[in-house]
Structures are given as C-alpha cells and as structure tokens.
Amino acid sequence: MAAAIFATPSPLALLLLLLAVVLSAATGQGEGAVASNSSSEASARGIVDGTPNVAPASVDEPGLGKNASIASGDALQTAASADDRCSSQEIPLGSKCTGCPPMYDGKLCASTTWYEDRTKGSCGCGTKPMVEDDWWTLNSFTAALNTVSMDPQNPALTYCLSGCGSCYELCTTGGIIDSLDLSATPGQCTVFKITNRCADGWNEGWPDWCSQHLSWQDCQANPDKCRQEGGTNMFGYSAHFDLQDAHRQIQHTLGWVNPEVTFEPVSCDKWQGPADAECPGCNGGW
C-alpha cells in the first residue's frame, strides 16, 4: 500500500495563514461592538432597530414589588397612527389607550410619575413650610396634578389653586409610557387626593410631563383643539399625576413605576386617608 505523502507548508505560508485568521476574528468583533454601541442610545429611548423595546414578560426588582406579565398575544399598543393620536413630541412605548384625548375602557388616560416633596405644597397642607415625616400628605396617597387641569381659569397660580383637595381614582391600564417604566397589572385602582401642583414645562413652554396648555376637561370637550401641538403633554396625555412617594407607598406598596392609568374625579369619601386631613394654608382648610 502506497504511503501518503504530505507537503510541509513553508514558514511564510504559515505566517500568512495565521495573520488572515487574526484579522478575520478582529473584524468580526469590531462589527459587533459598533452595532451594540449604535443601538444603546435607541435602547434608552425604548426603541431598538425601529422596534419598541418592550419590558420582559416578568420583572421582579427589589423594593418594587412583582410587576405584571406582558403577554405578547395581548400586544401592547405601540405607535398608534398619527391620525388617531394627539400631537406630541414622544410616542408612548406601550400604550393601551387610543384616540385624542387618549381613552381606555371609556375613561380618560393619564401619565404618572412619582416624587418626594416634604413641603406643605401648593395647597398649603401644613402649618409650617416643611412638614413632619409622619404628616398625612407624606404617608397617604396624595398627588400633584398638572397645573392647567388643577386650575383651568388660573393655571399660573402657584398657591391655593381651585383643584386643591379634589380626589381622583387612578386605575392601571397595563400599558407603559417610557423605556424606564414597568408595566403594572391592569385594573389596579387607588384614590389620590390632590395636594400639590405640577408645572414641569408649562412655565418654560417646552414639552414635558405637565406642559399641557389645555385642561383635561377642555381636551374632552374639544378634541380638535386637544389634537394640536401643545394641547397635551410630551407623550400626548391630557392629564398628568405626580404621585407622592415619600414613604415608598407608590413603588413598594402599590408596585407602580410610572404606569399609564385611567382617571376620573370621585368623592373624597373614597380616599383612604385621615378623615381630619386639612390644608389650613388655603382658605382655612377644605
């Protein structure tokens, strides 16, 4: 049987082959890094390769509570057609609401955020500028409302607005607004008392959470005006609620991280705060 004959490659050929392998690996790694970096900014806005970057099916973060699953079959609404939406700078990442003003299950929709403010607020809810840590405005379900909805006739007021002391029931839709938000189980409802004013963007005249130039009542009565630029906030909602979270009653107790909600005014008899809650700084209380 004839013996197999193997040609021994020259040192130069081996060197060229090794160089080709190294260059191929380096090129592949570089392309991946560029692709990843180019998508990082878009990912922060909730969009990757033109597709909304929806939160994972289940998120369990320490201190935030268990968040609801997002079922792909249920398909969160993303980027509704321009004809259906109010004009806004940003498009909600996964809204359940439709139309202008946006509605869900026959109720108006709103955006939410959380904040901490240990002053007596725009409604004068305290006997001194800074309230005690156990004061009812800090440990109950209270909120700041966008200024034009809080006082449609005098939205520039910074103190004792007409909407002080009103109550709203907020119910989660299961939708999310921004890439940093988490979905909440649909149908979670809580009543909040309004004790403060939110004017983010309203004074400055740029799109922001509370930059609406029409109240939610005006938007509901005049959808064509609401549809115009500046009628709603930067995500196209006619109302915004900034929820007091000084004792983590929003993130921990409710497990809410800026969810999309429906809202409607309700009797404050439904509010779960203290019966003797008053705001003496405004007209001797409510």
What would the pLDDT profile of 20-32 be if each residue is shown by its tens digit?
443 433 333 332 2
Count of C-beta atoms within a 10 Å radius of residue 182: 20
In a domain, 24, yes or no: no
- Report yes or no on 88 lying in a domain: no
Q: What is the pLDDT of residues 148-167, one digit of tens each?
A: 999 999 999 999 999 999 99
The catalytic residue among 208, 242, 269, 276 is 242
Q: For residue 56, tell me if it sits in a domain.
A: no
CATH of the domain at 122: 2.40.40.10
Assigned domain for 186 exists: yes
From 117, 181, 200, 218, active-site residue = 117
Report, in angstroms and rounded to the nearest whole number, the Rg of the chain calculated over CA atoms: 26
Considering the domain boundaries, does residue 192 fall inside one? yes
Query: What's the number of domains the chain is made of?
Result: 1
pLDDT at 5 over 90: no
The candidate with the shortest Cα–Cα distance to 118, out of 276, 278, 244, 275, is 244
Average pLDDT of every residue of the chain: 77
Domain presence at residue 221: yes
3-class SS of residue 40: helix
- Is 117 an annotated catalytic residue? yes
CA 270 from chain centre, in angstroms, equals 25
242 is catalytic: yes
Separation between Cα atoms, residue 172 and residue 163, nearest integer Å: 22
Is 76 domain-assigned?
Answer: no
Range of the domain at 190: 93-270
Q: Specify if 212 maps to a domain.
A: yes
pLDDT tops 80 at residue 234? yes
